[in-house]
Structures are given as C-alpha cells and as structure tokens.
Structure 1
Amino acid sequence: MHKQTKIAAAVLLTVGGFSAWAQQAEPQQIERVTVTGSAIKRIDAESSVPVTVIKMSDLRNSGVTSVEQIMSSLTAVQSSVNAAQSIGSGSGGASFADLRGIGQDKTLVLLNGERIANNAVDGSAPDLNMIPFAAIDRIEVLRDGASALYGTDAIGGVINFITKKTYNGGNITLGYDSPKHKGGKAKSANVGVGFGDLATQNFNVLAFVSVKKEDPIAGNERDFNKRIVGGLSNSTDPANYTQDFSALYNPAAPTCSGTALIPVNGGTQCKIVTPNFVDFAPKSDTASGMLKGTLRVNDALELGAEAFVARNRVTTRIAPVPYGGYYMNPTMPNGQKNPYFPTAHIDPNFDDGTAGTHPFNPSAAFANPVAVQPGFAYVFWRDFPNGSRAQMNENKQSRIMLTADGNAWNWDYSFKASFNKNTVDQNLTGGYGDGDMIGEGLLEGVINPFGAQSAAGTALLEKAALNGKLQTATGKVQIYKGTASRELGDWVGAGRPAQIAIGGEYRREDFDSHPIKEFAQLVSASTGVDPDATAKGKRNVYAAYGELNVPITKALELTGSLRYDKYSDFGNSTNPKLSFRFQPSKEILLRGSASTGFRAPTLFELYSSTSFTNTAGNFNNPINCPGGTPIPGASQANCNGQFQVQNGGNPFLKPEKSKGYTLGAVFEPMADLSLGIDLWAIKIKNAISVLPQSTLFQNYTQFQQYFHFSQPGNLLSITSNCPGPKCGYVEQLNQNLGGTNTNGIDLSAQYRLKSAVGQFDFALNSTFVNKYEYQDYPSGPWNQNVGVYSGAGPIFKWTHNLTANWAYNSFAIGTAVHYKSGYVDFTPTNRVSAFTTTDLYGSWSPIKGASLVLGVRNLFDRDPPFTNQADLFQSGGWDSRYANAAGRTYYVRGTYSF
C-alpha cells in the first residue's frame, strides 16, 4: 500500500473509532447538507452567494455528451481554450472552463467538492475532458469569488461537478452524432451500476463508465476557412531559396503554380496557404470510469472511498513539416554539379561568413558538422512527400479519495485524503522526420526541394520519417483536509442559531515536464522542441480557514469567512469574505458579498525553461516592414510572416490578487415564476501572463525592449535558428503584468406552466458584461475589451441561453437558443456579427425505464461568423474558440434503466 494511503486509512479508522464512541452519548441529528461556496452544513441550502444548479438529466435530454458542451451553454463562462485549440498548439487536447473571461486559471474546478490535478501541460487548470461524465449527477456553479474558503484559483468562481452519492440498479445510454457535412461523426456509451442501500443495508457501491469516439473534421471539409487567404508561410513546395535572407526566390514565381501556392508582391517568391491542411476539429477518443463505495458505520459516521480514472486521446493534423533555412550546396560530395541547385539569382562566390564546416541544420548544435561550400543557398522547403504532421496527445487523470463524515459532540465533521495525478504524453504519429537526415539530403543533392523526387530522394525521406513519444508531463497533488461545523446558539434572538465552520488543509504539489531527449533531438527541426528543455518544481501548501454565519433578525443573516494560505515557495496570503442574505418575505431574497482572492503562480509558470517557437499568426517586422510595406533594401520575407518567439517561466513571479463584489436579488412574484438578477465586479492586479503577440507587434515603439533583432539588418528569424548567433526573436516570457477590471450583470428567469395538454418549462439565462479592461504591463494604459478583439481575443457583451420544453405523458419536445453578441474584429475595419444557433430535440419513453431522444444541433446550419483574427494556428476567416465547426448535427440517444 502507498505510504500516504496507509496514513490516510489510519486517520479514517481513528476517526471512525472516536465517532462510534461519541455516538453513544449524542442523539441523532437532522441531516444537513453542504452547498458549494460554504463550509457550513445546513438544513436550508439557500445561501447568500449566487449558485446555479444544473441537473445532468436535463442536459442529457438535449444531446450533451461532454463537459465542454456543458460549459458552452453557461452564459457566465467565456472559455477560449477547447479541444480544437490542440491543433497546432501544445495544449495537450485540453478543454478549460473560464468564468467571467478572466482566464481558466482563475476558475476553480472541483469534483465532489475537492480539487483534482491540473492539466500537466501547463498546470493552469483541470482538463474538463477528465471529469467522469457518466457519473455526474449535477453541477453547481458558484458565480462569485471564493478564495476565503477554497484558496487559490477561485477568483472568478467555482464549478463543482457532483456525482451520485448512492445508486441502485443499472443504466445504459448509447448515442450517435452525425453532422450534415463530412467529418465529425461521434459515438458514445455510458453505463452505470450500483447496489446496496445505506438506510437498510448500511452500504452502497456504484460504478460508472463512459466512452466516446469522435471523428476529425479535415481542413478541406468546410468552405468557411477560405474566406481570407490565411495561414501563410515561406516554406513551400517547390521551395523558396535565398543567399542572404534579404530576398527570396521561387522557380514557380511569378505564377506560383504548385501545392496551395500564391504569388507575392515583387514576383520573385511564393507563399503557401495552409488552412486546407489544418483540421477544423481533432479526432478524439475519451474514456472514464468511477468506482465509489459508502459504508454507514452508525448514525454518526459514514466512511467512503472513491476512485476514478480518465483517459483522453486527441489526434491532430496540420500542414507538412517546413524545413526553413537549410543549406544547399552547388556541388555534390563526389564533385559533380548538384542537379537540383538553382541557377537564377545565385552568386557563385557568395559567402556570408558561414561557409565551411557547419551543422546543416542551423538550429541543431548536436548535428554532425558538414562542408558548406561557397556559393551555397538557403532553402525553405515543405516536406509534402511525408504528408501532414500528426500528433496524438494522451491525457490520463486519476484520483483516489478516502473520506470520513459524521458528527460528534454536536459537530458535523469531514476528513478527506486524496491522491491526484495527471499525465500528458505527446506522441508524433505522422509527417515528422529526422531533421539531420533531411538536412543532409538537401545539402548534398539527394532531396529535390523544387520538384519530383528521385528514387534515392524518396528512399531517404521514407527512412527519415519518425514516429514516437516527444515529451511527457506529470502533475501530482496530495491533499489532506479536515472540516468541522456546528450550531452555536441564537446569539441575538433572531429565532435561528449562529453557525460556525473551521478547517485545515495540507497540499503537496509536484510537477515535471520534459522531452524524451533522444527522440526530441531527432525531430528538433520539425517540432521546435528543445531536447534539453525541462520544467520541474514542487511545493507544500498549508491552510487554515473559518466561516461564521450569524442571523441578525428572522430575515437577515451575515456570513464572514477567512482563510490563511502559506506556500513554501513564495510566501503567504490571507483572504476574507463578508456576505449577507436578506429575505423579508418568501417572494423576495436579497444577497451580496465582498471578498478578496488570489491565484498562486503555477509550478509551470515559475520553473519552465525557455524555448523558441513560431508566432501563432503572421506579423510584420516592425522596423523592416512597417505597416506591411518593406523599407528600401528589405525583402518581402520581413512582411506577413511567422517569426521566432522565446517562451519560458519566471521564478520571481508574485501571486495574482483580486477583489470581488456581488449584489443580487431573486423574486418569485407568483407560483412557478422566478426572476433573478446579480451584479458582479472583479478587480485583479499582478496578472500573470505573457504580452500578446499582436500587442507586441502592433505597439513596437512601446514594447521594443522585447524585440531582439539579429544584425546586420534588424532581422527577426523566420526559421528555427534559435538560439544562435543569427537568431532574431521576440521575448514572450511569463510576467506579472498589469490589472484587470470587469463587471456586469447575470439575469435569469424560469417559468413553469401546467396545463391540460402538458407541462411547459421556460428558462432564460443571460450575462451582460458592462466593463472589461486590462493592462499589458504594470501602470500601463487600460485596454478596453468588451465587444472588441483586443489582446488575446474578444469579451462578449451579451450571451444568452434560452430553453423551452414541453412534456406530456411519454413525450417531450425541447429547444435551446444560444447567442453571442458581435464585436469589433482583430482587424478593426471588420465587425464580427452576432452568432446564434438553435437546437431542437424530442424524447419518447415507450415503457418504464426506456427512452429515445432524437435531436439536431445548429438547426439552421449556421457557419461561424467571419473574423480576420491572426492569433490562432487555425486561420482562414473563422475562430475555433467560439464556434463549433460541425454545423448542423443530427443525434440519437437511447437509454435503458433497470
């Protein structure tokens, strides 16, 4: 048995013995419950903070098969990282929640009230794909800051996924999704079984398993990525070439006939348009399972054990590997003329000082030196013979949790010990190759970068092709936690007793991310991964907290909370919260809160090593191509290109700090009608992030300290020659930047109408963002973001989710309308239109325990609105963060319970 597991088991057995003794002297108490946002167990679950409760039974009827889909229906969530963002990025296929749009790292995600391990790729937040979907019973969304109770990450709010506590019987659900257009088909299955009755048999055991497989949507299976010419690159087939990086030439110019080529002003070079080679949506294979047991020792003690595992495999495809800036000799090693060496625009005596014995891959210092002859050229070639680059990210999450819940001496207590682990492996599965071998083939005249390959060239490329594990990341979190609450008595004669909760927590975090060095060395040129890059760190966290609820009158109660956290690597943080609840009548409830919060820098943000990669979008060298026009003597290669950026951690980061406020009311003017309004505001300082690339390039004068040009010529590298003497790059390391201020209003309305022809249910949830402003650096200007694409993206002014359902006997019909308001685009001359999609579904229950659901998502087959953004790897006139590429999708669900 694991050492920590032995310790936790001993603690729980000790608690069990203590509670069994105490129960003899204490009468049985009324059962109380704990709601998200409070540590106090209470009979009345209505609290002073805004909590939205979502039942999974309702969501499944509407065809939901993933937690990512659930998040897209919550108006308070403005997520910008989903599974589609894994295409061309290092996210590992993760999907994150983002309350209020202030960052996924400031939304705390819980499973049964407790943390799970963050996604190991960057440690920012838990991957929603790792939540055991089939086991979820309900979701509680706290739309208020909660660091005073939960500690770090709860600045924007808390999303608590709650599984069934007990289950008896069995359930199986099968599903199939089929878009109208090609690609994106999905199959899913959920199975659950349980036995035992806590009330009569004193135990319950349940198990749930969920699997889902989804096909990719290829880049040539939708036309809306052709609305602009995007995803441009200088690495082409046939190749561009140069001798001095000042001017590029292509044998196909000026007409540029070739694979997805377009001409460039000046007529000497070509560029490739890549969107058709980049998937709209990845292939995914998700599986999760949970086993949970509860033992009722006596009326005062319950012991529990819970284990879950989840695995998600996401396969992505992008354009073939670009090999940029490789040497090509005019003669072969045998002294004969290289048959593929270009003759036009070549100086046979050219030598920029690098001719001689050098590695043929400028970015690979470990390469064997080879002879580079005078009169050589640099080529920018793309390896179409080996096909598109494909990688499979495998994300694995696990947790074991032991619990003891009971009461003794009028205290309700809970002790928990959990052991969490997340591992992400990045595997290359196609299109990548040994850069050394390909570089040698280009240099010595075996590979033809300007046309069809010879038998020798084809054989070399096939031999160079490589598949394998590129890098792995692991995050571990161990948590030991105890909480106790009780009534204190009616202090001020309000007719209800005051209540108190106290607790303590110890958490250990470990993080390790590193490449598989031997393999990473071979594919360094085609991946940009530094074989020596590592990120490793660990820390201990100690916390103590308390909560006090005091009824002042029959209608008014106040709640105060305070938490102290001490981190072994950067210090401590103390955060209070004060809230009130006022209910003068059963028709009106008023509530409000004020709190402070914090987010500790992740181990990845602190300790990841520096690395180099391409910019996500295309930009202009601010000196050599201001405004998109090259200066005299500068080549077109300085314009609309991808340049090298330096990423990495910063061990001197400070925690983010916040203040949050809410004020709301719930009205029930008549039976079956409820109206709600909540005003909210969040202020953040010391925000941890990187300066957005678009901000850096668009405001060069202000941020010129982050530009490190190669001399002579003020060049930024368009090839992976970093680090090195010819490296020109833009610095984009983690920093404590400026602040973020945002505020807005949440609105809700629910109405139920019972009639002779069935029951009608209507619900409207809306979020209005009044202000969202941020600073790129301390004391910098405030950038307005509401309804404007600024920095990393837009903040939507309005989001709505409207649902209407009708049920009669064994039949039901429902519809859902989802709306996001428009915004001023990345290119300000364009305004992105509002986006509305409509879902329709119906269900039939012919016999008890069986149901059939038929539905269609995006009923009117709306394409994503046109946007000319340049921050994503996927380009071509749409934004995969805010719109699903599938289009109209039909689905069927069949459920049988027994």
Structure 2
Amino acid sequence: MLNTKVTKAVRIALALGAASSAAFAANAVAAEGAEKVERIEVTGSRIKRVDMEGASPVEVITTADFENQGRVSVAEALQSVTSNSFGSVAPSSGNSGQSQSTVSLLGAGAGRTLVLVDGKRLGGSPSLNAGGANLSSIPMAAVERIEILKDGASAIYGSDAIAGVINVILKKDFEGAAFDIQVGRPEADGGETKQMSLSFGVSSDKGNITFVYDHQERRAIFDRDRDYTKATWEDKNGDGVISLGDETTGISVFGATVVDSKGNHHASPKCNELKNTVPGFVGILDQGTGNGGIGNGEVCGYAFADVSANMASTKRDSIMTSLAYELTDDIELYARGMFSRNDSFGRYAPAAAPWANMSADNEHNPLDETAKGKFRWYQLGNRDGEVTDYQQDYLLGLKGMFGDTAEWEVSYHKARLDYRTAGRYYLSYAGLAYNAQENIDMGSEQGINNMRATTYVESQSDLDHFFAGLGFEFGELPGGMISHYVGGEYFEEVLDSKFDAQSDAKLVGGNAGASGMGERDVTALFYEVAFPILDNLIVSAAYRYDDYSDFGSVGNPSVKLEYRPFDDLLVRGSYSEGFRAPTLKELYGAESEGSPTTTDYVACKNGLPAGASEDQVREAYLNCPQSAYNELRKSNENLGAEESTYINLGVVYSGFEDVAIKVDYFELEIDNVISLITIQDLVHIENGNKLDEVYAKFPEVKLSRAANGAIEGYSHTQYANGSFMSRKGFDIDLSYNLDTSFGEFKFKKVTTLLTEVGEDVYFSGPMSDQKGAPDQPDWRSQLSVNYSADSFSVNWTTDIIAGTHESDVVQVDSTGNPYIVYSGDVPTYVTHNLNVKYFTESYGTFTVGARNLFDKGVLLDSKGKWIDDAMYNAGHIGRELFAGYSISF
C-alpha cells in the first residue's frame, strides 16, 4: 500500500535508466543491401516487429503443443497454463455458469484477463454478466496458436487487460483437407469425451478461404459415482448421534426441518416415515458442532448427492470460416465468421426451498406455533438444468499500405451471445398456496402439477465494435526510423437477461436470479511509438484514452524498454497502468437472490463460555462449520473503474547452444477493486465491531439475524469499490533441444512463482499476504518432454501445483483488528499425461495416450472432505485413456 504510482514510476525509470547504459546489438536489422525482413504483430503492441521476444513476455502455445499435451479443448489447454492456476472456472453442475470455462491469470479474476480472438475483443459471456469470456465458444480445431501476454495492456487494448491478455490466433491460410477424431474414457464412471473435426482450405495467388468444423463432448460426472462426493452419514466419534456438519457428506438440512421463532431447528414428526418410504431421506440428525450458527436441535436430513451431477455434461458444435483476398496490390479484404452451439446438462436434487408460515396444525410441524420449514420438495422430482449457448462472431475488414512504410486497417466486429437456460421441476409458491387454500393433497397428481414450476432465462450480450488504425514511420534516430501507431475504436455493449415472470417475482423455490439489462458505448483513442534510441536500445510508449457513456473516462499510459548487451541477451522492462470498467450487471442489474456458503464466526464465538482463552477462540473458529444463508444482491450505479499498475523486469538468454532461458519479475497492484460485500464480509466486520461504519457508507447493506443471534431471513449485499489486490512474483521459462543419433529430445519447463498474493482480509479491510492460503498455491510448474524419431513421437507432460494450507480463519485481536490464522497442509499435487503418436505417409497419424497417467486422486482435507477446486480437476476425472486418428490431404 506504501507503493504509490509515483514511487513505482520512479523505481521503474531508475531501473530502465541504469540498464540503458548497456549496448544493444540489433539482430532484427537486416544487413545493408539485404532483403527486408518481414515484420509481425505480437500481442501487447500494435507496432510490427521482427522478433517474437520484445519488451513484454509472451508465452506461445501452438497447435502441436495442444496435441502433445492431450488437451481436449481451448479451455483445458489454458487451464493447464501455470499463470492460470489460481482461479479459473471449469463447467460444473448446479449454477448459472455450468456451461462456462474461463481463464484467470494470476488468480486476479476472469474479468481482469482480456481474451482476444485475432486481436479483437471476444464478446463477454452473459452468464458471467459480460464480465468475462467463455472459452467454450472457441473451436479447438480452428486455433493456430495462443499468445499469452504476461503484462498489463490497457494502454493498448483498454478495459480488462489488467493481469494479462489471451490472444487466440485462428487458422487463416490452411490449404487442403484434414480430419481428426479422438475418444477418451476415464476408468471411473462419467466424464467420457469425444472430439471430431474437419478442416478445408483453398488458396490462390490472390487469397485463401479456410473452413473448420469442430465437435466436442464430455459426459457428466454424478456425485454418487465418487466415494468422496456420494452421500454418507456415520457416527464417527461414537457419541450415539450423527452430526450434520461434522459426520455427513452430501446431506442437507433441507429435508423436513422446522425452525421455531427463536431460530432453533426441529425434525418433522414424519421424518422416520419419510426415511422408510421416500428415497433420499436419511432420518433425524443432530446438529452438534456442525450447527453453523443455525440454532440448537435436530434436523431431518436429505441426501441430495444421491442424484445430483457434480460436473455438467457439455456438447459443443462450432464452425469457423475465414477469407482473405487481395483487391489490389496494396489493399486486402479479410473476413471471418465463427458460430457455436454449446449444450449443457446438469441434474440437481429436488428443490430445497423454505416453507414460510407453516401452520401450527401442519403434520410436519411439531410446535404449537406458526413456524418456518426447510423442506425438500421431493414430490416434484429431480431438477434438471438444460443450458443452450448460441454464439455468433463476425469480422469484416480492409487493410493495406501506402508509401514506403505506412500500413492502415479498418474493421467492423460483431459478436452476439444468446444463452438460454431451462430448469424443470422447481417449486411454485403460488401453486403451494393454491393447494393450501383449496385443501388439495400435495402428494396427489393435481397437487404436484400445481406446485411444479419450469424456470426459463434468456440472456443476451451484444458487442458492436468499429476499429481504425494507422502505422507508419516518421523521424529518425541513431538506431533507425521511429515507428508510430495511431488509431481509434468505438464499441457498444448491451446486456439483457430476462427471467420468467414467476422467478422475477420470487415465487419460485430452489431458484435464484432476476432480470436485468444495461447498455453503454465507448469511444477510445490510442497512440503508440517506438524510439530506436541507438542501434542497441529501443524505448516505446503508449497512451490510450477511453470515454464510457456510463461511469466516465479513463486514461492509461505505458512505457517499455528492450535492449541487448550482446546478441544472445535481451533485457526488458515495462511499466503500465490499467483499468477494469464495472460490468453492466454490477452497475444496473436487478436485485437477485443467492445462497452463499458462510462461516458464522460470531455465533461460534458467542457460544463459548465467558472469559474463553485465545486458544479456545481459535479452536472454536477452526471448527466453526459453514452453512448456506439467503441474500439479496444489489447492483450499484455509482461504481467507478478499478485502477491498476503493472511492472515487469526480465531477461532472455540464448547464449548456450539449443538452450533458452527467460526470467521475468512482475508486480501487479489493483486499487478500488469492485467486489460484492458478502455475508461473510459482514460477519468479519461484525466480529471487529465495525458494522455501523459499513452501514453508514453503504445504507443498502444489512446482515439479518434472528432473536437467538443466528443468521436468518434475507441479508442485503451490494457491489462496491474499495478492496485492494496485489500479485508479485516470477515467471521462469526454460527450454532445451537435444539432437542425438537416435532421435530429437525437446525439454521445456515453465514455472509461475508468487512471492505475494495480496488480498483484503474482508471487504475494504486490512491487506494480508495470502500466498499459500487455500486455493492460492505459491507456485505452479509444468514440465514437458518430447521425443521424436522418424515416424514416431512420445510426449510427456507433468503438471505440478504447490501445496497450500488446508484452512484459514479470521480472528480479531484485543484492539479489534482482524488477522488470518492458517492451519493444516494440502500436499503438492502432481499429475502426468502421456501421448504417443505414430505417423504414416499414406494412412494418417495414430495417437494413444493417458491423461492423469498414474490416476492421481483428489485432495481431501483433514476431515475427509473433498477439496473442490478446478485446479485439481484431473483427480476428479481420474485416469483417462484416449485414442485418436488424423489424416491430411
């Protein structure tokens, strides 16, 4: 927090200034009289250059790398990248994003990693509130390579390019025809994969046309098919009762449970009957130490994991076609169309929904008073969630040259994402009330039909993007001509989510969400310049100004330096400022419901005897269980932009034969972070006796507690600026090629090491270094070994994720200041992938292999609970054998 922007700017200037005294041997300059070397555009700069390596580190993943690692999709390929090991999302059953896959460089969040396709912004997913890109929309077979910029780039690309940029480069000049098919089968049930693609391309001296069709499938994985997720209940401590929070897996309080006016819980008198007659009910459970602050008493539990899907099934069909044609010697027309449909299926247990105002004479109510019920509406059947994502992406442009050096480009880009979600067999509160009014038996066919509700959501996001740019050389320095790039962009964003009327009116149980819409337009101007100060020194700078129609305007600069003391050594550095605009959902979204999992430390602390020691408090916090509580989430029209700074200093050395070494140090700091003030935040703030301060600043926020102190009813949460985030560390990339008489070996080791993971302890609270915290490993590394000889190749990939702490709790010292206490250890996680290929000249290529070759299992905590995190997804799928065939004509 002490490092202000001015301080950091001075520091980077001093570092770059000291480095500039070294000589720079420009190997990119052609010798006098030689043919001019072709220049290329690399992610992170619009000025074309000769070398891939420049002032900012760019990791390149080629199609061959995908194949060698045995990755099934673009999403899975990117989720294995070491800098994306701290928070990306994979398809999961049971939430609005079950069809989504995202990338989150440095764990900064999907909305802080910009995703481009051929240098143009990918449309934001409406399921992610247009605040992140869905990688599932990109056809794997259409990808030529992926460039990962590990630097801030808002001065070049605008919003979201805070933690880095993913630029997916599609095939454009494919010639001939190709067919590829692959199937995969895990040894455990579920998760089977199928993949098939067709590619065609024709070329002439004037241009080319490329067409790609890609089909991918992965079947669902059900909770019952894994020992660690299937429903279990056992008296582990031998006290004669089973505690819901401590001694069960996949069991919910929402079975047939009644809550009295003080917040205490009671099992329905019919619980044992339900256990004997209705599948899923497990009988009466004690709350014990697992009460989660929800009061004393017993509950009637329900085993939702007997029927629920843990990982959603996905089926994707994608088409990409591209065209390039020379209209004249100096003008080229280019166009691209990309279409995809993604179908996803998830199954959940029958609706778990409150039963308000249960009458005193209700057969499930053991009390002599009107009460609330937490019920599993088993009569309605299992809920099925069916998601269909339609995505269209069009690009049309012209580019050309005039004079000796000037290049220009104009383009129009249109993206429309249309997502539709249907949910079957939810609870209609109107139907429930009608049954009660008309005295209709809830278990009868008529009663069930009255209570069944089908939810439906239509979510669209639209992006209309106009671009114009001009690159030219003007002015000369001792090192050569000064390169310039100037341009502008205009784009419009629209987000529109429409829920069915009953869900909007909050008359559907077991469902959450609300309709909302918003739109904005953005005008941007940008300028970039590269100064060849000497033959051995290049300094570049950029500035971009974005004017948003809703929250205001933002200007972001960057400065970079690259130089070579000698031919084999590149030393580079950069300083950039960036921003993330608030999403339309965060600004204008309608109030929506949620049920976040929260640990009520206040209730656990209040349950201790007076004068409890610090060790007793810590123990109570460590054993304080989680529970789901109801909230109403509000948007905030007064949000401003997040602001960031990114510093990078690195070296690239290739002085050893067939060896390349890259080491980059980075610092990322983000102020005014937009986040939801969660129920968990409010619990921490209450524990520090600072709720009144938050209420005064955010009057819409409220933590709702019952008379007995338990969190009850609906708490109110809201999006707000005010948090802080930082990331510091190293990216290390080592490669070595070895030619022998019996084949060629290629070794590559990429590591991302975090030395600081700065996060607020709670919203706008003190900052804490949370590296090594749960879900925040210090480092991740990937080792790949490739051996090839004649018509045979073997590829071995090892993914390593550093160990972390198992759990963390927030405690408060005697002065009311919170701090985090970590406990337990999660071991280092290592998985291996093997891929063997055999090439024939006439009959194509045959592939066999195994993902997670040694069947590395999932990670369990000290209580035997599954650590559910996308980082460890390989263990959840298990060892997966696959075979493939491809042929080109």
Same fold (TM over 0.5): yes
The match for 1:246 is 264
Does residue 57 (structure 1) correspond to residue 87 (structure 2)? The answer is: no
AA aligned opposite 1:460: G
Alpha-carbon distance in 1 for matches of 2:445, 2:741: 75
Structure 1 window deviating more from structure 2 (52-61 vs 287-296): it is 52-61
What are the residue-to-residue correspondences of 1:244-323 with 2, within 5 Å? 245-251=263-269, 259-261=281-283, 262-265=285-288, 268-323=298-353
Alpha-carbon distance in 2 for matches of 1:120, 1:32: 37
AA aligned opposite 1:577: S
Work out whether residues 88 and 107 of structure 2, in 8 Å CA contact, stay in contact via their aligned partners in 1. Answer: no
Work out whether residues 522 and 546 of structure 2, in 8 Å CA contact, stay in contact via their aligned partners in 1. Answer: yes
Alpha-carbon distance in 2 for matches of 1:443, 1:817: 63
Does residue 540 (structure 1) correspond to residue 529 (structure 2)? The answer is: no
Q: Compared with structure 1, are the counterparts of its residues 655 and 40 closer, same or farther at alpha carbon in structure 2 (3 Å cutoff)?
A: same
* Cα distance per residue 1:158-202 (max 9 Å; x no partner): 1000011211111111111100011111111111111122xx2x0
How far has the Cα of 1:488 moved from its partner?
Answer: 2.6
Alpha-carbon distance in 1 for matches of 2:340, 2:170: 15
3-state SS of the aligned residue for 2:84? coil
The match for 1:675 is 661
Work out whether residues 329 and 341 of structure 1, in 8 Å CA contact, stay in contact via their aligned partners in 2. Answer: no
Unaligned runs of 5+ in 1: 1-27, 332-337, 351-375, 632-637, 718-727, 870-874
The match for 2:448 is 461
The match for 2:641 is 655
How far has the Cα of 1:56 moved from its partner?
Answer: 1.1
What are the residue-to-residue correspondences of 1:423-822 with 2, within 5 Å? 423-428=418-423, 430-441=424-435, 446-447=440-441, 453=443, 457-462=444-449, 464-467=451-454, 470-491=456-477, 493-494=478-479, 496-517=480-501, 524-529=508-513, 533-615=514-596, 617=597, 619-620=599-600, 622-623=602-603, 626=605, 641-702=627-688, 704=691, 705=695, 706-709=701-704, 712-714=707-709, 716-717=711-712, 728-775=713-760, 780-789=765-774, 794-822=775-803
The match for 1:421 is 416
How far has the Cα of 1:505 moved from its partner?
Answer: 0.8
Q: Compared with structure 1, are the counterparts of its residues 689 and 329 closer, same or farther at alpha carbon in structure 2 (3 Å cutoff)?
A: closer
AA aligned opposite 1:427: A
Alpha-carbon distance in 2 for matches of 1:458, 1:327: 24
How far has the Cα of 1:516 moved from its partner?
Answer: 2.3
How far has the Cα of 1:43 moved from its partner?
Answer: 3.4
How far has the Cα of 1:392 moved from its partner?
Answer: 1.4
Work out whether residues 329 and 443 of structure 1, in 8 Å CA contact, stay in contact via their aligned partners in 2. Answer: no
How far has the Cα of 1:223 moved from its partner?
Answer: 1.0
Work out whether residues 663 and 680 of structure 1, in 8 Å CA contact, stay in contact via their aligned partners in 2. Answer: yes
- Over aligned residue pairs, what C-alpha RMSD do you find? 2.8
Work out whether residues 98 and 346 of structure 2, in 8 Å CA contact, stay in contact via their aligned partners in 1. Answer: no
Work out whether residues 257 and 265 of structure 2, in 8 Å CA contact, stay in contact via their aligned partners in 1. Answer: no
The match for 2:176 is 169
How far has the Cα of 1:383 moved from its partner?
Answer: 2.0
Q: Percent of pairs identical after alignment?
A: 25
Does residue 179 (structure 1) correspond to residue 186 (structure 2)? The answer is: yes
Alpha-carbon distance in 1 for matches of 2:679, 2:107: 19
Alpha-carbon distance in 2 for matches of 1:43, 1:821: 37
* Cα distance per residue 1:366-405 (max 9 Å; x no partner): xxxxxxxxxx554332122433222112222211111111
Alpha-carbon distance in 2 for matches of 1:506, 1:536: 21
Q: Compared with structure 1, are the counterparts of its residues 276 and 770 closer, same or farther at alpha carbon in structure 2 (3 Å cutoff)?
A: farther
Work out whether residues 234 and 240 of structure 1, in 8 Å CA contact, stay in contact via their aligned partners in 2. Answer: no
AA aligned opposite 1:877: W
* Cα distance per residue 1:832-867 (max 9 Å; x no partner): 222111111101112347111111011111122124
The match for 2:850 is 856
How far has the Cα of 1:240 moved from its partner?
Answer: 4.2
Work out whether residues 44 and 153 of structure 2, in 8 Å CA contact, stay in contact via their aligned partners in 1. Answer: yes
Aligned match for 1:412, one of 404, 407, 413:
407
The match for 1:886 is 877
Work out whether residues 312 and 394 of structure 1, in 8 Å CA contact, stay in contact via their aligned partners in 2. Answer: yes
Structure 1 window deviating more from structure 2 (796-805 vs 533-542): it is 533-542
Does residue 229 (structure 1) correspond to residue 248 (structure 2)? The answer is: yes
How far has the Cα of 1:585 moved from its partner?
Answer: 1.8
* Cα distance per residue 1:296-332 (max 9 Å; x no partner): 123311101111111212211222112323444466x
Q: Compared with structure 1, are the counterparts of its residues 268 and 140 closer, same or farther at alpha carbon in structure 2 (3 Å cutoff)?
A: closer
* Cα distance per residue 1:699-726 (max 9 Å; x no partner): 5323634543366555533xxxxxxxxx
Q: Compared with structure 1, are the counterparts of its residues 882 and 276 closer, same or farther at alpha carbon in structure 2 (3 Å cutoff)?
A: farther
Alpha-carbon distance in 1 for matches of 2:794, 2:780: 24
Q: Compared with structure 1, are the counterparts of its residues 255 and 92 closer, same or farther at alpha carbon in structure 2 (3 Å cutoff)?
A: closer
AA aligned opposite 2:192: K
Q: Compared with structure 1, are the counterparts of its residues 252 and 628 closer, same or farther at alpha carbon in structure 2 (3 Å cutoff)?
A: farther
AA aligned opposite 2:854: F
Alpha-carbon distance in 1 for matches of 2:654, 2:541: 27
Aligned match for 1:206, one of 197, 207, 210:
210
* Cα distance per residue 1:73-120 (max 9 Å; x no partner): 2111135342334x2322252111111111111111000100121001
Structure 1 window deviating more from structure 2 (411-420 vs 516-525): it is 516-525
Alpha-carbon distance in 2 for matches of 1:761, 1:569: 51
Alpha-carbon distance in 2 for matches of 1:640, 1:573: 41
Does residue 215 (structure 1) correspond to residue 219 (structure 2)? The answer is: yes
Alpha-carbon distance in 2 for matches of 1:45, 1:182: 44
* Cα distance per residue 1:316-358 (max 9 Å; x no partner): 1222112323444466xxxxxx7x455xx432xx4xxxxxxxx
How far has the Cα of 1:132 moved from its partner?
Answer: 2.4
Alpha-carbon distance in 1 for matches of 2:568, 2:758: 37
How far has the Cα of 1:671 moved from its partner?
Answer: 2.0
Alpha-carbon distance in 1 for matches of 2:329, 2:843: 33
Instruction: Give the TM-score, by structure 1 length.
Output: 0.83
Unaligned runs of 5+ in 2: 1-34, 233-246, 289-295, 611-623, 696-700, 809-821
Structure 1 window deviating more from structure 2 (111-120 vs 857-866): it is 857-866
How far has the Cα of 1:640 moved from its partner?
Answer: 5.0
Instruction: Give the TM-score, by structure 2 length.
Output: 0.84
Alpha-carbon distance in 2 for matches of 1:783, 1:141: 28
3-state SS of the aligned residue for 1:248? strand
Work out whether residues 84 and 881 of structure 1, in 8 Å CA contact, stay in contact via their aligned partners in 2. Answer: no
Q: How many residues align?
A: 789
The match for 1:22 is none
Alpha-carbon distance in 1 for matches of 2:653, 2:497: 51
* Cα distance per residue 1:811-840 (max 9 Å; x no partner): 111111101111112354332222111111
What are the residue-to-residue correspondences of 1:12-91 with 2, within 5 Å? 31-85=38-92, 87-91=93-97
Work out whether residues 86 and 777 of structure 2, in 8 Å CA contact, stay in contact via their aligned partners in 1. Answer: no
